[in-house]
Structure 1
């Protein structure tokens, strides 16, 4: 299929309006995502379910206030690099269907509601001149180091923040099915299907409307324990004034208690690590009833470090 024909496939859905095929990181891409809009990747933060961004940080972003800059990490880099390969695997598994680049969309009536799906799915054209009139479903492509949050292959059991994302995308475009192509641990390929749920979509829309109302009114969300919330607070002050700032006694008590608990937890952890390492002796792993708990690495015949098995997949 020619590039021209593929381009024609990306502009027809029931409810969405195509903004364009925007390159991430460009000015046009940023403009489509900032201001009083909510994108599919942001809606989980609105409802407090995003593992990457807190409601506090998103509020600052939408209010035009400083937020920490995005930093590329290996997981994001390799997810981007592998997206085309995983999408091609899905297409190989589904002859007769074509997954084409989707672009950035807004809802036909709610212009503030935005989405950038990975792919739109169309019936496979039989010739260069056979161009389907409308997409039939969405395809989301994901990579994951472990499968803990993913259910059995073929189910709809996916991480909750991804469910928020695709319910939002389907609501924007007017499509009713999203297929997932997921590569776990670099070799475990799985597929999932999520159907549109109007009740869930309404909950997300209502939450988004309230969130944007709070942004306009200047009602900042409370500070939470997320790391990115702390990083957002760090970038708010501009400069340094040599002055004292009085803070409340209750906050001071919580400060003292938190640091005391942290010191005690650090000492407890060191003791427990010592006991586990002592129990392992010159073995490699500590196990309990078939579960792997920790493992040691060795240099020059002596213990170099002790590591926990951090997931159920590690411990399997």
Structure 2
């Protein structure tokens, strides 16, 4: 790994991902480049509610190594090697974890660093990449640049295992300032125990499930607004599921022996089948 000087970044160390040292460099009252999207409420994997619990030392759902994550990790070195092959003059190499020289709580761990900054990604689909870098990755690149004092960052991505692309993201001082302010407010909320609102995500629900440390056989009176919302949503969900089942039956019946259900040239669903032709499932179009 390369210990490369940056205008405002101070190298904390070169840590292997997943080791106790790596976790320690990212723990506590700091915000990393991978966490800033959660602070801003635009992360597909986390949200302010879940991150607040993590930073407060409370229980959060454990990290799950999915096949998508595993193969993304396996492929990232190859994607990085492709970028270096395309840009041999940039002196790029893996590096370590940095903090900002004036803001110790602002952390960044670039994938590649040299004459420029490079973030490496993989994606199973092109959705979200056709008009540039997805918003959560844009936040990550801005945080990296703001931490290190750099003006640009390349994003190298491999989509669907064969579609290699490169994007250039320029530093935006206004966006970076907005993120810094949000991060400072978030960390202040952690210090003072001000919990963010509960998000409408499975991650938030799973986080709440983990908080009780015992099981008491007691009745708890809940507010009318919470009780009403739960009962209305429960009944609506049951009715919606029944209606969806009926809609699937009608569509599958109309599809007959076909594979793709199309309306005005647009595929809306497709049928998966066994060797004898019987249906396994009706899947919504992606």
* Matched pairs, number: 285
Name the counterpart of 1:271: 246
For 2:130 and 2:248, the matched residues in 1 are separated by 33
Among 96, 105, 112, which residue is 1:112 paired with?
A: 105
For 2:138 and 2:113, the matched residues in 1 are separated by 17
Equivalent residue of 1:96, what SS? helix
For 1:75 and 1:285, the matched residues in 2 are separated by 26
Does the Cα contact within 8 Å between 1:10 and 1:120 map onto a contact in 2?
no
For 1:265 and 1:308, the matched residues in 2 are separated by 16
Question: Offset of 1:196 from its aligned partner?
Answer: 0.6
- Which whole-Å deviations, capped at 9, do the CAs of 1:156-204 have from their partners, x for residues lacking one? x211010110100001111111001110011111110001111111000
Equivalent residue of 2:258, what SS? coil
Does the Cα contact within 8 Å between 2:100 and 2:148 map onto a contact in 1?
yes
Does the Cα contact within 8 Å between 2:4 and 2:113 map onto a contact in 1?
no
RMSD (CA atoms): 1.2
User: Normalised by the size of structure 1, how large is the TM-score?
Assistant: 0.88
Equivalent residue of 2:167, what SS? strand
Question: Offset of 1:297 from its aligned partner?
Answer: 1.9
Name the counterpart of 2:279: 303
Q: How does 1:142-181 map to 2 (within 5 A)?
A: 142-151=121-130, 157-181=132-156
Question: Offset of 1:290 from its aligned partner?
Answer: 2.2
- Which whole-Å deviations, capped at 9, do the CAs of 1:115-156 have from their partners, x for residues lacking one? 1111103xxxxxxxxxxxxxx21111110011110135xxxx
User: Normalised by the size of structure 2, how large is the TM-score?
Assistant: 0.97
Residue 139 (str. 1) matches residue 118 (str. 2): yes
Name the counterpart of 1:3: none
Does the Cα contact within 8 Å between 1:87 and 1:99 map onto a contact in 2?
no
Name the counterpart of 1:30: 23
For 1:11 and 1:238, the matched residues in 2 are separated by 46
Question: Offset of 1:94 from its aligned partner?
Answer: 1.9
Does the Cα contact within 8 Å between 1:179 and 1:193 map onto a contact in 2?
yes
Name the counterpart of 1:229: 204
Question: Offset of 1:110 from its aligned partner?
Answer: 0.5
Any gaps of 5 or more consecutive residues in structure 2?
none
For 1:99 and 1:80, the matched residues in 2 are separated by 19
Name the counterpart of 1:126: none
